[in-house]
Amino acid sequence: MSNMMAVFLNGIAQLEYNRDQLLPDHQAAYLDKMDGKMDEGIVVGNETVENPDLNQRAQFAAANLLHALNTADESMAAAMCSYLAIRLPELKQVRLEDNNGEASIELVFDEDYRKQVAVDFSGLH
């Protein structure tokens, strides 16, 4: 069983998270702080969710991850990726699709991540 989690955007791997690497204390504290803020409620779509459950928190974090990837906010993307990997230890892949503003999020728990391999076609004639 792999301890890797991967984040895909439109089918292309963007981030990998290795759960075998210990999270530094300051980053773990940041995740706890995020949970504390979410305890106050989160906005999902047009509605405020009071006392969100783990699934709602994961969807919220994944939506923020998508936004962070689209705006090249690397630190936010890393934080949201870490949140999902730590809070959902069985999560293997986050599949994000964003086509002309139509976004979808799929959390995959039953399919191990396999690294994508680049194929060099430059030598073929």
pLDDT recorded at residue 23: 86
- Is pLDDT at 111 greater than 90 in this prediction? no
pTM reported for the whole predicted model: 0.86
Overall average pLDDT of the 104-110 stretch: 93
Within-domain flag for 63 = yes
Within-domain flag for 117 = no
Long-range contact pairs involving 22-29 (C-beta distance under 8 Å, separation at least 24): 23/82, 23/86, 27/79, 27/82, 28/86
Within-domain flag for 121 = no
At 102, the pLDDT band (50, 70, 90 cuts) reads confident
Within-domain flag for 13 = yes
Q: State which residues form the domain around 101.
A: 4-108
pLDDT digits (tens, 9 = 90+) for 17-69: 999 988 889 999 999 999 999 999 998 778 899 999 999 999 999 999 999 99
Q: Residue 111 in contact with residue 93, Cβ under 8 Å?
A: yes
pLDDT digits (tens, 9 = 90+) for 78-87: 999 999 999 9
- Is pLDDT at 14 greater than 90 in this prediction? yes
pLDDT recorded at residue 121: 67
Overall average pLDDT of the 89-112 stretch: 92
Q: How far is CA 91 from CA 46, 82, 86, 124, in A?
A: 27, 11, 9, 38
Within-domain flag for 69 = yes
How many domains is the chain partitioned into structurally? 1
Within-domain flag for 20 = yes
Within-domain flag for 73 = yes
- Is pLDDT at 117 greater than 70 in this prediction? no
Within-domain flag for 116 = no
